[in-house]
Amino acid sequence: MRVESDQSHPRPERKEAAAIAEKNRQSVEDVIARRREAAADRQAGWALLRRLALFGLIVWLVFSFGLLIAQVRGQSMYPAMKDGDLCIIFRTPAMRLARESLAQGDVIAYTHEGKRYFARVVAVAGDEVSLASNGSVTVNGAAEPGEILFPTYDGGTLTYPLTVPEGCLYVLGDYRTHADDSRDHGLIPLDQVDGKVLTLLRRREL
């Protein structure tokens, strides 16, 4: 009589042990997969935080040293700029780094006695400025360029004709009959210039 080997017919205990082992193996693989997924999520989160931190640093650097957002107060630059407008200003230190200088026609922000003003550069160092009794302005013997909507009368602060010295600007507001500018504050030293106005962000209806 032939007796079959136990190996051809595994015992129930062996089948159960194999099933448990397989289940344990799958459980271990699931744990490893979850841990890897959690690690990947953490890495993605840290990467996002690093990108946000870098973006925040760039924004901080740009607006701390490069650009300035300021609100216009008053009507000195009407109609180009109105009271309540927001504007972006290219800061003076950043302009120096970019080797960009101010020129006739640029609109600037400057600080005088603790208050910020906006005005247009009419003359730079070396230019000669004259104000005529009819309200016209001449720079180096030529009429001021651009469309001037309002007459320009002497405010009595300066003596004309005058030559702008080094390190200073002669500025006028576009609303010449109501502007605060060099006729009131005198020549503007460059170290009082906050920067050049690049663009307006918002216009408030009067």
pLDDT at 205 over 70: no
Q: pLDDT tens digits, residue range 175-186?
A: 999 999 999 999
Alpha-carbon distance values, 87 to 66, 78, 83, 111 (Å)? 14, 14, 11, 16
**Other beta carbons within 10 Å of 198:** 12
Kindly report the pTM of this predicted structure. Answer: 0.71
CA distances from 74 to 42, 71, 152 (A): 52, 10, 18
Q: What is the mean pLDDT of residues 117-126?
A: 97
Q: Does 139 or 22 have the greater pLDDT score? A: 139
- How far apart are the C-alpha atoms of 156 and 12, rounded to whole Å? 113
Q: Where are the domains of the chain?
A: 10-66, 72-202
Output the pLDDT for position 103.
Answer: 95
Task: Encode pLDDT of 70-119 as tens digits.
Answer: 999 999 999 999 999 999 999 988 888 778 899 999 999 999 999 999 99
Which stretches of 62-111 are DSSP H helices?
Answer: 92-97
Cα dihedral 141, 133, 154, 196 sign: negative
End-to-end CA distance of the chain: give it in Å, rounded. Answer: 115
Q: Which CATH architecture has domain 72-202?
A: Ribbon (2.10)
Which has the closest alpha carbon to 196: 96, 129, 114? 96
Write the pLDDT tens digit of every residue in 23-75. Answer: 677 777 777 888 888 888 888 888 877 787 777 766 666 666 678 999 999 99
Element containing residue 115 per DSSP (H, E) = strand 115-123
Q: Give the integer Cα–Cα distance in Å for 46 and 188.
A: 49
Contact 70, 109 (CB under 8 A): yes
pLDDT at 59: 66
84 within 8 A of 75, measured Cβ to Cβ: no
